[in-house]
Amino acid sequence: MKALVPARNFDQSEQFYQHLGFELGWSDGTQTHFRHGNSSFVLQKLNNKERADNVVIHLFVVDVEAWWQHVQAQDLKNKYEIKVDPPKDRPWGIRELVIVDPSGTLWRIGQSMGGNP
């Protein structure tokens, strides 16, 4: 299964995901395939606000603190004027950070507090 993530400003979103640390696989100008390790998704050019605001992606990683350091080093919050919350222990056993991308997609990037995801 592969998620399709909507983008209101496609060019800005392509740049954002590369700064976030995803590798661009291919792009045809309306869709871009991104990957990071075993995870991947397709960024899709879309101008429908309702779809972007209702998308939530939960990415499990081995080291959420490394992701947090990268997000801070890239200054994504200020560069893209987005919401970014630092890692926090959640009652469901995940330590996760929260990012809302430029189109409103909510990303929960976390690691299991009990070991590998």
Sorted by where each begins, the domain ranges of the chain are 3-112
The confidence score (pLDDT) of residue 92 equals 87
- Residue 4 identity (one-letter amino acid): L
Whether 99 shows a pLDDT value over 90: the answer reads yes
Confidence of residue 100 (pLDDT cuts 50, 70, 90): very high
The bridge status of strand 39-45 relative to strand 31-36 is: antiparallel
CATH number belonging to domain 3-112: 3.10.180.10
Q: Residue 6: enclosing H or E segment and its boundaries?
A: strand 3-7
